[in-house]
Amino acid sequence: MLDQNVNLNGKTVLVTGAAGFIGSNLVTELIKTCDSIKIIGIDNMNDYYDVAIKEYRLKEIESLAATKSGADWIFIKGNIADRALIDRCFEEYGFDVAVNLAAQAGVRYSITNPDVYIESNLIGFYNILEACRNHPVEHLVYASSSSVYGSNKKIPYSTDDKVDNPVSLYAATKKSNELMAHAYSKLYNIPSTGLRFFTVYGPAGRPDMAYFGFTNKLRNGEKIQIFNYGNCKRDFTYVDDIVEGIKRVMQCAPEKENGEDGLPLPPYRVYNIGNNSPENLLDFVDILQQELIAAGVLPEDYDFEAHKELVPMQAGDVPVTYADTSALERDFGFKPSTSLREGLRKFAQWYKEFYL
C-alpha cells in the first residue's frame, strides 16, 4: 500500500468536467468527506447530451454544499480549451490538486465530430498541463480510458500492455493525454496519475451510454440493437466505485525522485479502474429490464424479446473490455465491489424519479 502524501482537508481542488457524470459524483464525495475543502468546478455545459441532466447534477452539488459547513463550492461555466480562462483560474485560486475529467467523450461521436475531440481532449489538456507547469500542484489526476487498449487480444488489460493501436480518434486522444502527461512529469517534475476508466454507469449517467439509451428505447416501445449479436463483454463499473478510486489516488501523488544519473525520474503513474469482472451484454440487458420493471419504469408484462435485435459489431468498438486491477489493489487496497444488479437497480430508481 502506498502512503498518503496529499491531505485533501483544507485544500483547494480543481475539478474540470464538474457537471459531467464522474466529475459531479467526485465533487459530491469530496464535499461529503473532506473538511474545509474548496472546490472549483469548470464545465462548458455543451449539448452533446441533454443539458438538463448536467443542470440536475449541479443543483444536487449546490444543495449539498449549502448543508456542509466549511465546504466552499464555486462553479465556472467555461471551456478548458480557453487558455486565458485556465491560466486565470490557476493564478486566482492556487490549486493544490487538479483533477481533469473534462473531455469530449464517446467513441462513435468521434467518427462524425472529430474537431471537438482535438479541442477538448488535446488542446484543453495541454492548457491544464501548462497551468500546472506555471502554477505547481501537489498532484494532477486525469481521466484516460479503457479505449486506449484498442484491439488488444490479451485480456485482462494490464497497464503494462502496449497501447499503440487505437481504433478510434477518441482512444488516440486519450493515449495522447498519457504521453503528454508523462513528458510534463519528466520535464517539469509534475506528479501526475492517469486513470483508465472501464464502462462507467449509474444514476444520472450519460444518456449516450448503452444502458441509458436502451432504457429510453424500451420505454418508447422501440427495438434496442445489441451489437456483435450479444457477444460483447464489458467491465461495467459503478460510478461510486470509480469515485472512491479517484479519491484514493488523489491522496497518493507519485514521489519526486532522482534516478541513478542524478536527473529527476518522472513522477508518473497510470492505473485501470474497472470491475475486473466482464459481463456479457445480453446478461446485462436482461438484468436491466428486470430492474426497470421492478422500479416501475416498464410494465410487468413487458415483452422484452420482441424489443431486442442482435446486430453486427460497429466500427470503432471492441468485443471485450476487461481490467486487470491488481495494481490498484496493491497500491490502494481498493477493488470495485458494487454488483451489476445493485448498480442497475439504483439507476432504474433514479430514472423513475427523474423522468416519470
What are the catalytic residues? 170
3-state secondary structure of 112: helix
Total residue count of the chain as it appears in this document: 356
Q: Give the integer Cα–Cα distance in Å for 243 and 257.
A: 28
Q: Give the integer Cα–Cα distance in Å for 219 and 348.
A: 12
Q: Give the integer Cα–Cα distance in Å for 274 and 256.
A: 27
Place of cell 462513435: 108
Q: Give the integer Cα–Cα distance in Å for 279 and 282.
A: 8
Q: At what angle do helices 21-33 and 239-250 cross, to 10 degrees?
A: 60
Peptide bond into 299 cis (omega under 30): no
Q: Give the integer Cα–Cα distance in Å for 23 and 206.
A: 12
Place of cell 465491489: 337
Dihedrals phi, psi of 266, to nearest 5 degrees: -65, 120
3-state secondary structure of 39: strand
Q: Give the integer Cα–Cα distance in Å for 289 and 291.
A: 5
Contact 107/317 with Cβ under 8 angstroms?
yes
Q: Give the integer Cα–Cα distance in Å for 50 and 28.
A: 20
Q: Give the integer Cα–Cα distance in Å for 161 and 181.
A: 18
Q: At what angle do helices 340-355 and 210-219 cross, to 10 degrees?
A: 50
- Beta-bridge mates of residue 226: 310
